[in-house]
């Protein structure tokens, strides 16, 4: 395919998007890790156009802020009142009054276009020596779309809007996608001569095409191979539809790269996710942000990972992980919640109903179940018993706890930070640790048990508990003496 360096790409993104019924500009709604406009920018960036012009109107400050972060080199054209695509293009050419060469025009709410398709439009435009080139597609259901009419030789003769089409023309499945390549001089001249004499009193780029055809100028058309790529977003139903198509595209890409995805229809992932070959993703799994999963790892079922790294051979089951690092051959889940700042070393385990936050957990260390680990450093080969709580918050400040290598914390313990449990040290089950435990020592932070005999008979007389105690031989006549 010819690699064509175009003078400019013009993105029309000024519309309000009323059908979205949202305070957020339509082009800033997201799908699969990017905004709609962000997907368009990603598709046009490899074209390396000399200039990128973006027409903005509705909620312009929000879109400008987005562009300042994503594409600071973009040139903003302001369309205060939206009077159609032709009006927007005319404002852009008035803004860039020294522009010459080829300009590619497209909409900011068409997130599925690929660079390959856009480059094909530009290549066809250059090779055909046309004054304008349209991208069309064959739609399974062309209702509400403008139909492309052609003569016996196959040359484009016009675009007929659905409401104006005859019954015969409504049978045409080829439609206009809203992507055009124009010779800038031709476009500038035509925009000065089209009129807003329609019910909407707006100027349309389709009117430019009609004008050029009426004057005998060459208008070429290239048909997109996949109609789904051309879909725009006007409401939340179409947004969901586009999201599904993008999901299918992403999932298919990774399966071709050697990833096993057991149920593509329930697997969702964003465009910035990376997967190595021989990763396995099970059903009902969502991968977002900059998540990276290494060779041999197994994730799912029922997982949500965001900005998380999963090491080779690790497993994550029925868990949520955000901003976490999971080491090689480590295991997470089920029902674990790894919050930002969690680092689990190689061969480590975070088990059922465990929550971690800013926790650096060493290689081979196990936190098997029912535990909260916050603001902590745990060495290698340690064991944290069930029901342990790292008490990191005093009501004002967060405090840190350090657990040494091969330490053992018994079940049901409270580690009241800031504390340090030394290497090889033990914490007795049920302890509230308020002082440091030296290496090799055992920390016991609990009072001696005292049994009050007969308490149930006196305080819970007539209950099922009292009857069961009586059947078991209790008589309630004695109280164990104090030691």
Residues known to be catalytic: 369
Where on the phi/psi map is residue 395: left (φ > 0), alpha (ψ -120 to 50), or beta?
left
Half-sphere exposure of 27 (CA within 13 A, CB side): 30
- List the beta bridge partners of residue 373: 356
**Interatomic CA distance for residues 219 and 133, integer angstroms:** 6
**Interatomic CA distance for residues 372 and 386, integer angstroms:** 10
β strands within 170-296, DSSP E: 174-183, 219-223, 260-261, 267-269, 274-275, 280-281, 285-288, 292-293
**Interatomic CA distance for residues 55 and 343, integer angstroms:** 44
- List the beta bridge partners of residue 259: none
**Burial (CB count <10 Å: 0-12, 13-18, 19+), residue 396:** exposed
- 97: DSSP letter: T
For 250-262, b/e burial (b = at least 16 CB within 10 A) is bbeebeeeebebe
**CA triplet 239, 243, 247: central angle to 5 degrees?**
175
- 447: DSSP letter: P
**Interatomic CA distance for residues 231 and 139, integer angstroms:** 10
Phi, psi of 85 (to 5 degrees): -65, -35
Residues 379 and 407: beta-carbon distance below 8 Å: yes
**Interatomic CA distance for residues 122 and 103, integer angstroms:** 9
**Interatomic CA distance for residues 343 and 294, integer angstroms:** 16
- List the beta bridge partners of residue 223: 136
**Interatomic CA distance for residues 425 and 418, integer angstroms:** 17
> H helices of 71-106, where?
85-95
Name residue, tokens 């206009």.
176
């Amino acid at each position: 395919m010819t690699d064509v360096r175009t003078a400019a790409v013009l993105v029309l993104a000024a519309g309000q998007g009323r059908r979205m019924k949202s305070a957020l500009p339509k082009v800033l709604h997201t799908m699969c890790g990017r905004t709609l406009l962000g997907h368009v920018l990603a598709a046009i960036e490899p074209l390396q156009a000399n200039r990128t012009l973006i027409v903005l109107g509705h909620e312009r400050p929000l879109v400008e802020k987005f562009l300042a972060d994503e594409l600071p080199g973009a040139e903003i054209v302001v369309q205060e009142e939206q009077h159609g695509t032709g009006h927007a293009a005319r404002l852009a050419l008035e803004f860039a009054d020294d522009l010459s060469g080829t300009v590619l025009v497209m909409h900011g709410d068409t997130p599925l276009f690929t660079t390959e398709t856009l480059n094909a439009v530009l290549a066809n435009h250059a090779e055909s020596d046309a004054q304008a080139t349209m991208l069309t597609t064959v739609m399974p259901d062309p209702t509400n779309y403008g139909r492309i009419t052609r003569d016996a030789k196959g040359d484009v003769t016009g675009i007929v809007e659905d409401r104006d089409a005859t019954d015969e023309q409504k049978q045409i499945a080829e439609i206009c996608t809203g992507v055009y390549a124009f010779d800038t001089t031709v476009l500038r001249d035509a925009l000065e001569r089209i009129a807003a004499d329609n019910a909407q009193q707006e100027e349309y780029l389709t009117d430019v095409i009609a004008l050029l055809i009426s004057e005998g100028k060459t208008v070429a058309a290239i048909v997109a191979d996949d109609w789904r790529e051309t879909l725009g977003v006007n409401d939340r139903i179409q947004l969901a539809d586009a999201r599904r198509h993008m999901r299918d595209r992403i999932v298919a890409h990774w399966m071709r790269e050697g990833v096993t995805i057991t149920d593509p229809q329930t697997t969702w992932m964003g465009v910035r996710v990376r997967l190595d070959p021989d990763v396995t993703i099970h059903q009902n799994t969502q991968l977002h942000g900059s998540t990276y999963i290494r060779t041999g790892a197994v994730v799912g079922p029922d997982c949500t990972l965001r900005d998380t790294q999963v090491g080779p051979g690790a497993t994550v089951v029925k868990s949520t992980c955000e901003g976490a690092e999971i080491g090689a051959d480590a295991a997470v889940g089920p029902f674990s919640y790894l919050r930002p700042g969690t680092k689990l070393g190689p061969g480590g385990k975070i088990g059922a109903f465990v929550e971690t936050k800013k926790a650096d957990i060493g290689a081979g260390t196990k936190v098997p179940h029912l535990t909260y680990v916050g603001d902590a450093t745990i060495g290698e080969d340690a064991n944290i018993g069930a029901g342990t709580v790292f008490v990191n918050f005093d009501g004002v400040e967060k405090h840190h706890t350090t657990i040494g290598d091969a330490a053992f914390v018994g079940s049901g313990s409270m580690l009241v930070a800031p504390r340090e449990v030394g290497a090889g040290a033990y914490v007795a089950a049920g302890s509230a640790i308020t002082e440091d435990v030296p290496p090799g020592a055992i920390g016991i932070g609990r009072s001696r048990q005292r049994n009050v005999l007969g308490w149930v008979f006196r305080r819970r007389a007539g209950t099922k508990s009292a009857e069961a105690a009586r059947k078991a031989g209790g008589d309630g006549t004695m109280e164990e003496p104090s030691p």
